[in-house]
Amino acid sequence: MSVYKRGKYWIEQYNHKKKMYTRRSKSTRKRDALELERQMRHQLVETQVLGHREHIKLHEACDALLSTSKESGAYSTLVTATNRLKDYFDDIYLDAITNRDLSRWVEYERKRGIKDITIRLWSRQFNKICRNANRLGYYTPDYEWGEWNIKDKPIRYLTDDEEQRILKELDPSSAKDPKHKKGRQAARDIFILTIDAGFRINEAGVLKWSDVDFDNGVIYLYRSKVSNDDFIPMTNRLSTALVNRRKVVDGEYVFPGRFGGHKTAQNNRALEAAFKRAGLDDVSSHNLRKTFATRLLSRGAAITDVQHLLGHASVKTTEKAYAAFVKNERFKQTIDLLDKPVT
């Protein structure tokens, strides 16, 4: 190690495993620089020779991961998870958090009305925080927080009858007010887009006419959640709906907002209202996307093809989400063999 002066401040410098490390003392006094050098030497021995690490507080560990994840498609989920962890835990050292502490946090979030599936997503973010801190050389909990057992609910998808009931409620001709007619038509087109192409509701809202290729019958889509580009072939029904919509909607967006820009997920009340009028209180816009996936799988589509159409970053995500459905469909097909005559 050595110290030298650069400008008005003293600099500490050392070499370890053929890598040069430099640190500014922010002091004009050599004595301060020598003391900092001594501390750096001690830290080097502790971490590199003896294998000891520094402690990091939870809030700092959260911020460290956030600062390097802004381009991630799951950044918003990470922000929410870190905020919930910061709100519940004091600013304690990360390695002081026990499995029991996390289990208590789970119960706290459940009492707040947070669904298990959401808490499970947040728990994965906690593991990411720990892995990142460990990579940076800090003490972390000596366990990988496993996901507790959650009984996955059966996938809620629409039957053909339920789909027709919703389309009936979205029929613009049944509305008297011109504004309501326009709103129902937009909601009907979004319904067809999500159930025939597997769009997330926010993806439908930001769709631009420049992304719709009528000549080749496809829609080009950038999925910000997983940061990838896809193209989705259009069904005949979807193509017809968009052709008719193009005749009456000008501008950049397929679904323009009331006050300019694009339609937002919060501004799709006509669609949610149609679910309720159809007597389907347990259905949300995301169930349309699940209906798209289950219809493909039940017709024999390859799981990897469904993965790409849904925009999942990994086929494991698709398999985990629809494993129970695929197994049930396979069992049905197996039992159906008993009804076939033996040849």
The answer to whether residue 254 scores a pLDDT higher than 90 is yes
Q: What's the CA angle centered on 304, arms 211 and 121, to 5 degrees?
A: 85
- % of the chain exceeding 90 in pLDDT: 31
How many CB atoms neighbour CB 1 within 10 A? 14
Going from the C-alpha of 79 to that of each of 45, 62, 65, 74, 86, the distances in angstroms are 36, 9, 10, 9, 11
Give per-residue pLDDT as tens, 11-66. 877 676 666 667 677 778 888 878 877 777 766 666 555 556 788 999 999 999 99
pLDDT score at 267: 58
Contact by Cβ (8 Å): 84, 131: no
pLDDT score at 115: 82
Q: Which two tokens stand for residue 100?
A: 């029991």
Q: Which two tokens stand for residue 119?
A: 């808490």
pLDDT score at 255: 92
Give per-residue pLDDT as tens, 54-107. 889 999 999 999 988 877 767 888 899 999 999 998 888 998 888 888 888 988
How many CB atoms neighbour CB 172 within 10 A? 16
Burial (CB < 10 A; 0-12, 13-18, 19+), residue 236, is exposed
pLDDT score at 59: 92
Q: Which two tokens stand for residue 130?
A: 């720990």
- d(CA 197, CA 231) in angstroms, rounded, equals 10
Give per-residue pLDDT as tens, 167-186. 999 999 988 888 888 889 99
pLDDT score at 188: 94
The answer to whether residue 248 scores a pLDDT higher than 70 is yes
The answer to whether residue 280 scores a pLDDT higher than 70 is yes
pLDDT score at 159: 93
Task: Name which residue leads in pLDDT, 3 or 24.
Answer: 3
pLDDT score at 340: 78
- % of the chain exceeding 70 in pLDDT: 87
Among positive and negative, which fits the CA dihedral 86, 89, 95, 99?
Answer: negative
Q: What is the mean pLDDT of the chain?
A: 84
